[in-house]
Amino acid sequence: MIAIVAGLTFSVAANAAEKFKINKVSTTKHGRNYGTGPKIDYLKVKFTGTGDDLLLHAQSYDIDSTGEVTIELNGDLIGTLPTTADNGKSEGTLWLLPAGMQKTGSNSIKFTRVGGDRTWGVTKLGMFEPGSSKTAFGYLKAIKGDIKHPRSVRIYTPLNGDQAHIGIKFFDVDTSNEVRVSISGQSAGSPAITGNNRFGNASYYSIPSNGGWIEFTNALVTGSPLAWGVKITDTDRAYGAVSVGGFRRLSSSEWDEAAVRRVLHTFAWGGHPRHTTITAWANMPPEVAIVQMLNFKHHNSLLSRPHAQDRDGLSNQPNTLASIRSYLSRSSQVPWSERFLFRDDWAMGMALATSTNLRGLNPFRNRIGIWETNYHMATNLNAGVEDPQMERYYDTVMKSLEKNEPYQKTMAAAAASAAIAKQYAHHESRYYPDEDFCECNEDFAREYYQLFFGILGEYNPEYHETTVVKNMARVLTGIEVVWNNSLQREPTVPRFVSDYHYRGDLDLLPGSVSFDRGNAKYRLQDISDVAINHPESLKNLPVKIIAGLADDNMTDAKASVIRNAWASMSEKNLLDFIRAYAISDTFHNATRVKYWNSFDRTMIFNNAFYFTNREVFTSTWQVNRYDDEGFKLFEPKHNVFGGQRGPEAARSTDVFRNVYNGSSEDLWRFTRTREYHSGLFWEKNWASVIPKKNGRHKVKDVGEFLWNRFIGDGLKNFGPVERAHVYALLGSRFDLMQGVDPSSLNRIISMADMETDANLVNYVNKLSRQELNLTSSSRSIRDNANVKVGRAVAFISATPFALAQEGL
């Protein structure tokens, strides 16, 4: 049977009557000589992944030795049931199921008895979501929670899994010796006292890879259970950022809210965190905060907090491009007149852009995915790549990243895609051994090294040209993307055939030979493993990554630090690298400049401006305004060399004019207060995001909030003149010039005026103390206040500071 609850689906092969629910355990017993069900030697449980980490819960019965019963996730061994006394039961145990090990769609957990006597059992099966209030274990009677773990809670990483990290909130810890933490048997101290019947602040722990475990034990319990427990607030694959050498990590004093916002603007287009979350991140050690901020999970509820008004369930929707498009094209939350957009081939980029602005997903994931597929490893819908191939390409790259594979495997997966084969036209490349003739071209043979890995062949141009590129062209034979009549389109995955593939060994980069592996796919994997460690790649690729994502003013000094950090990773891991960089003084650096391209700027604005998904759904054309500036996702301006770059946008009169006129001529975008669209209604409510201070929305506070929200510079550039204009727009019906002197509407106001014109200064000071009635019960007063905020936002978004980011 199959039951679907909140996006998770369970079915039990052996017990058709069983029903499972998310964040709960089932008391049904499975096994042999255990419970009343059928006698079985294996049990298969299915569930539908959400794209996020999950925790499997199980309790074993009569397991005589380690390894007697194995646990597999989709065929990958993740652990074994704990041993017990004869006819005894273990404590309920948890296993982390990383998102990257799950499949999109149906997944299976299989318990198999592989040894010992025939009696065995498993019960208390459940699947828990980290972060859920139900994912708390211990003796939580006071809060009506779990009471089945009175002594201890243990969590394992998968046997073939990476190091994992978890956030834990302890419950009702009364003394410093009450609860002990051990990691794979080694003491890891005790948590802080929390106070009675309450959870404390989150603590963070690392669990070793490959079946490592963490255990929380109540050391004081002897007879009757004592109140205590742990809530698992977050899981993440790694705090790998801290282990990347070469970068100097910011100290806690340097890591402040401005630093957090810089990271968010650059790597997540600001995201949708609550302002309290930003404060919390700023108060954490940077290496802890960055793990919460940046990850490749499908959903990051801290970075992209779902809005209470949204009922779209996106936070449970798999965050693949295919899934999001399907959702957007069918959901009743999207105006019916707009749904077609997300079905149409030409609007695939629009779907991805829209999802970047939707709450409940993960803007960092989109940020990196878009950079990979539109810049670093760009393919182009206008160059022969078909829409389904592009969609598959994006999801293939993201799948590899979320699996935390070594970076070269991501590039190998991309290289083996139909999209790349079509883009570079080697899908028809064939080698004819009888004639020793290669019907092929050198395009991707060269660009695979140059664009993907940064190897230009400077080490020996002649050899690179006449041997490596030529032979690589032969590697890329027998990759077929042939029209499929039954599909009525080309396939999204190439067919790797031996027939027309070059079947000999080939010399490639000096010292490396690509041995015949039967087809191109396996050879690409081998070749990537070599290329990633080539000196030219070590020199160029990390600089290319950082320059592409975050720094338009790369200097030799910064490049040197970046290269050292990259080189220090024995296995190149993109997420670790980005995290380490994002909390380093190489990123938070006065020489760093990031010019926003049209897409960056639009996404940053949208993420700050739209607070509900409904607003996004009903504003599709506004959300995608970057299109007016010639930017199109999956149709990069420079073809395989990527889309519009920040420095290009910065020097484009057209872009500047669009920004400027967009804030004045198109002011309505900022000031509309409600919309009724195809049966869907929203009302702009700035009060829902702007916090009150002392119970009021004062102009000064609102102005500073808006500046930080949209510009994210810690108010560095919110100087007296900027404040004067913003305060005027927030605090009055008029602009600053009219407010000061209606006869001088065209007055230019500079710093000198703010220092010498007492009348002006007094006026601005008075405005700063005005209050905005954003929470008035009167709709017209409320609307009026929201319109004023909209005008201020329009002004802020047309200042120079909305067009680029300084590094410090």
Site for another protein in 630-649 (CB under 8 A): 630, 637-639, 641, 644, 647-649
Complex with another protein: residue 178 or 372, whichever CB lies closer: 372
Please state, in angstroms and rounded to a whole number, the distance separating the CA atoms of residues 624 and 603: 9
Single-letter code of the amino acid located at 170: F
Please state, in angstroms and rounded to a whole number, the distance separating the CA atoms of residues 452 and 531: 10
Angle between helices 574-582 and 257-268 (to 10 degrees): 140
Complex with another protein: residue 58 or 385, whichever CB lies closer: 385
Complex with another protein: residue 273 or 646, whichever CB lies closer: 646
Please state, in angstroms and rounded to a whole number, the distance separating the CA atoms of residues 241 and 294: 11
Least distance (Å) between residue 467 CB and another protein:
9
Least distance (Å) between residue 194 CB and another protein:
47
Q: Which stretch binds another protein (CB under 8 A): 128-136, 208-216, 654-662, 692-700?
A: 654-662
25, containing H or E segment = strand 25-26
- Which of left, alpha, beta for 408 (phi over 0: left; psi -120 to 50: alpha)? alpha
Tell me: does residue 803 bind another protein (CB under 8 A). yes
Determine which residue in the list 185, 742, 743, 777 makes contact with another protein, applying CB under 8 A.
Answer: 742
Q: Give the residue ranges of DSSP H helices in 70-204.
A: none
Tell me: does residue 756 bind another protein (CB under 8 A). no
Site for another protein in 431-450 (CB under 8 A): 437-443, 446, 450
Complex with another protein: residue 443 or 526, whichever CB lies closer: 443
Least distance (Å) between residue 481 CB and another protein:
14
Q: Which residue, chain included where needed, has tokens 């693949």?
A: 320
Tell me: does residue 506 bind another protein (CB under 8 A). no
Site for another protein in 534-563 (CB under 8 A): 540, 543-544, 547, 552-555, 559
Q: Which residues pair with 10 in a beta bridge?
A: 3
Tell me: does residue 776 bind another protein (CB under 8 A). no
Least distance (Å) between residue 656 CB and another protein:
5
Least distance (Å) between residue 582 CB and another protein:
20
Distance of CA 663 to the CA centre of its chain: 30
Structure tokens given for 336: 């019916």
- How many other CB atoms sit within 10 Å of the CB of residue 664? 10
Comparing CA positions, the residue from 123, 114, 125 lying closest to residue 46 is: 125
Q: What are the Cα distances from residue 298, in Å, to 36, 315, 414?
A: 39, 8, 19
Q: What are the φ and ψ backbone dihedral angles of 47, each rounded to 5 degrees?
A: -150, 160
Please state, in angstroms and rounded to a whole number, the distance separating the CA atoms of residues 808 and 802: 15
Tell me: does residue 763 bind another protein (CB under 8 A). no
Please state, in angstroms and rounded to a whole number, the distance separating the CA atoms of residues 329 and 352: 12
Determine which residue in the list 38, 189, 433, 461 makes contact with another protein, applying CB under 8 A.
Answer: 461
Query: DSSP state, 294?
Result: S
Least distance (Å) between residue 470 CB and another protein:
6
Comparing CA positions, the residue from 773, 633, 796, 643 lying closest to residue 695 is: 773
Number of chain residues interacting with another protein (CB under 8 A): 87
Site string for another protein, 660-679 (x = CB under 8 A): xx-xxx-x---x--------
Tell me: does residue 475 bind another protein (CB under 8 A). no
Site string for another protein, 331-350 (x = CB under 8 A): --------------------
Least distance (Å) between residue 450 CB and another protein:
5
Comparing CA positions, the residue from 94, 6, 2 lying closest to residue 50 is: 6
Tell me: does residue 313 bind another protein (CB under 8 A). no
Please state, in angstroms and rounded to a whole number, the distance separating the CA atoms of residues 614 and 677: 10
Determine which residue in the list 751, 759, 769, 778 makes contact with another protein, applying CB under 8 A.
Answer: 751
β-strands 199-207, 164-171 pairing: antiparallel
Least distance (Å) between residue 213 CB and another protein:
45
Please state, in angstroms and rounded to a whole number, the distance separating the CA atoms of residues 552 and 554: 6
Which distant-in-sequence residues (6+ apart) come within 8 Å of 327 by Cβ? 314, 317
Determine which residue in the list 50, 135, 373, 429 makes contact with another protein, applying CB under 8 A.
Answer: 429
Q: Please answer whether residues 56 and 109 qualify as being in contact, where contact means their C-beta atoms are separated by less than 8 angstroms.
A: yes
Q: What are the φ and ψ backbone dihedral angles of 802, each rounded to 5 degrees?
A: -90, 0
Complex with another protein: residue 618 or 799, whichever CB lies closer: 799
Determine which residue in the list 118, 276, 745, 762 makes contact with another protein, applying CB under 8 A.
Answer: 745
The string of DSSP letters for 352-374 reads HHHHHHSTTS-HHHHHHHHHIII
Say whether 230 sits in a helix, a strand or coil: strand
Please state, in angstroms and rounded to a whole number, the distance separating the CA atoms of residues 595 and 648: 9
Structure tokens given for 329: 């094209």
Tell me: does residue 741 bind another protein (CB under 8 A). no
Tell me: does residue 5 bind another protein (CB under 8 A). no
Q: Which stretch binds another protein (CB under 8 A): 20-28, 253-261, 285-293, 727-735?
A: 727-735
Comparing CA positions, the residue from 242, 311, 250, 304 lying closest to residue 282 is: 250
Least distance (Å) between residue 805 CB and another protein:
9
Site for another protein in 561-620 (CB under 8 A): 593
Determine which residue in the list 336, 676, 681, 734 makes contact with another protein, applying CB under 8 A.
Answer: 734
Please state, in angstroms and rounded to a whole number, the distance separating the CA atoms of residues 672 and 681: 13
Tell me: does residue 456 bind another protein (CB under 8 A). yes
Complex with another protein: residue 112 or 738, whichever CB lies closer: 738
Determine which residue in the list 656, 675, 678, 775 makes contact with another protein, applying CB under 8 A.
Answer: 656
Which distant-in-sequence residues (6+ apart) come within 8 Å of 397 by Cβ? 369, 372, 373, 377, 410, 413, 414
Least distance (Å) between residue 166 CB and another protein:
39
Site for another protein in 398-427 (CB under 8 A): 424-425
Q: Please answer whether residues 728 and 739 qualify as being in contact, where contact means their C-beta atoms are separated by less than 8 angstroms.
A: yes
Which distant-in-sequence residues (6+ apart) come within 8 Å of 647 by Cβ? 552, 595
751, containing H or E segment = helix 751-756
Complex with another protein: residue 5 or 497, whichever CB lies closer: 497
Q: Which residues pair with 122 in a beta bridge?
A: 30, 60
Please state, in angstroms and rounded to a whole number, the distance separating the CA atoms of residues 363 and 303: 8
Complex with another protein: residue 240 or 646, whichever CB lies closer: 646
Complex with another protein: residue 32 or 446, whichever CB lies closer: 446
Complex with another protein: residue 291 or 451, whichever CB lies closer: 451
Q: Which stretch binds another protein (CB under 8 A): 39-47, 101-109, 658-666, 759-767?
A: 658-666
Complex with another protein: residue 743 or 777, whichever CB lies closer: 743
Complex with another protein: residue 41 or 628, whichever CB lies closer: 628
Tell me: does residue 460 bind another protein (CB under 8 A). no
Site string for another protein, 687-726 (x = CB under 8 A): ------------------------------x---xx--x-
Complex with another protein: residue 180 or 470, whichever CB lies closer: 470
- How many other CB atoms sit within 10 Å of the CB of residue 514? 23
Least distance (Å) between residue 729 CB and another protein:
7
Q: Which stretch binds another protein (CB under 8 A): 160-168, 260-268, 688-696, 728-736?
A: 728-736
Complex with another protein: residue 313 or 720, whichever CB lies closer: 720
Least distance (Å) between residue 558 CB and another protein:
11
Least distance (Å) between residue 92 CB and another protein:
55
Complex with another protein: residue 417 or 613, whichever CB lies closer: 417
Least distance (Å) between residue 506 CB and another protein:
14
Query: DSSP state, 453?
Result: I
Tell me: does residue 753 bind another protein (CB under 8 A). yes
